[in-house]
Amino acid sequence: MTSAPNRKTTAPSVLALSGGIGGAKLDLGLYHVLKPWELAVAANTGDDFEHLGLTICPDLDTIMYTLSGTSDEVRGWGRQGETWACLSQLKEIGGSSWFGLGDKDLAVHLYRTELLRQGKPLGEITGNLFASFGIKAQVMPMADQPVGTIVHTTDGRDLPFQRYFVEERCAPGVRGFTYQDAETATPPTALLAMIRGGNLRAIVICPSNPFVSINPILSIPGIREALAASKTPIVAVSPLIGGAAVKGPLAKMLAEMGLPASNRSIADQYKGLLTGMIIDKTDGDDANNQLEMPVLAVNTLMNSLEDRKRLAQDVLEFADRLGE
């Protein structure tokens, strides 16, 4: 698609809403098929928490390590070539060691925590960190203020996300989620300006878990409304393949909440926002419009970098067609 003549050459042209490992995979595909500065990402910070006196932002860091090529692809989070000297010492002296903090990763938490303590906004710190990793995409936390995802379990507990996801390994049944203090949070002005500006080629909802990766972003006042009013094609990539999640607790969560593990359940989470949806070839029958919107069925499994780039290309070409 030819860019509009009046478009500034360095403005982002594609905005991705992203959280978790699946989101970061598609972010990398988009980062490679676009010019680096053309990609903007609104990142989930609902996974964030205070731990050992540090502010940990897992989804921001997963995107940062993934786009800079320093992530541990096998583990799915943290850095390649990581060492664990500090964590093992912590364990030996009886400190809290349930959350895996690698030595290199710790440097990022120390840097971020100190600047937050000095009063710098998370968005500004994130810009500094991503620049230090040589990343030219514009990655923004969904808000500068903390908005923690709380998992309400079927045994009556309200678990902060990491306690549910890491400490209890997603074992507890879920009955719902809340996004703590979302109502008083504010989205980055650059993000709202980008969505309202009308200059975007596409808005992509990544194949992330809607409940714990995308809905936290949509819970920040102003974001869902701006997306709903946008004329830009908004395309969601389903995180399900044949009713199963590629990774993580999504299918289990859906079952526990009495929702079918279907692309329809995913589309329902984004009601009123989607121009079209990308589903996996194995779910091709959904393409016969059970989703009541334009649907493209492609291979959505992303094992290799080539898979990530091809899916990104499929998403952008689909969005271009929807925007014609």
**Interacting residues with ligand FO1 (CB under 6 A):** 20-21, 47, 58-59, 61-62, 77-78, 99-101, 105, 162, 165-166
Min dist. Cβ of residue 237 to ligand FO1 (A):
16
Min dist. Cβ of residue 26 to ligand FO1 (A):
14
Q: What is the dihedral of CA 143, 144, 145, 148, to 10 degrees?
A: 50
Give Cα separations from 264 to 259, 278, 285, 292 (angstroms).
Answer: 10, 12, 12, 9
**Closer residue to ligand FO1, CB minimum distance, 18 or 230:** 18
**Closer residue to ligand FO1, CB minimum distance, 61 or 144:** 61
Min dist. Cβ of residue 213 to ligand FO1 (A):
7
**Closer residue to ligand FO1, CB minimum distance, 106 or 115:** 106
User: In the beta sheet, which residues pair with residue 158?
Assistant: 152
**Closer residue to ligand FO1, CB minimum distance, 162 or 265:** 162
- Choose among 60, 49, 51, 55: nearest CA to 20: 60
**Closer residue to ligand FO1, CB minimum distance, 109 or 309:** 109
Q: Which residue, judged by CB position, is nearest to ligand FO1 in the bound state?
A: 100
**Closer residue to ligand FO1, CB minimum distance, 165 or 318:** 165
For 174-200, give one letter per residue: b (16+ CB within 10 A) or e: beebbbbebeebebbebbbebbbeebb
Backbone angles phi, psi at 216, to 5 degrees: -55, -40
Backbone angles phi, psi at 219, to 5 degrees: -80, -10
CB atoms within 10 A of CB 306: 11
**Closer residue to ligand FO1, CB minimum distance, 37 or 111:** 111
Q: Name the H helices within 34-185.
A: 58-67, 85-92, 103-117, 122-132, 161-162
10 Å CB burial of residue 307 (0-12, 13-18, 19+) is middle
Min dist. Cβ of residue 296 to ligand FO1 (A):
26
**Closer residue to ligand FO1, CB minimum distance, 37 or 99:** 99
CB atoms within 10 A of CB 98: 11
**Three-class secondary structure of residue 182 per DSSP:** helix
Min dist. Cβ of residue 162 to ligand FO1 (A):
6
**Three-class secondary structure of residue 82 per DSSP:** coil
Min dist. Cβ of residue 320 to ligand FO1 (A):
30
**Closer residue to ligand FO1, CB minimum distance, 102 or 187:** 102
Min dist. Cβ of residue 82 to ligand FO1 (A):
10
Q: Name the H helices within 96-140.
A: 103-117, 122-132
Min dist. Cβ of residue 29 to ligand FO1 (A):
18
Min dist. Cβ of residue 50 to ligand FO1 (A):
13
- Choose among 218, 208, 238: nearest CA to 25: 208
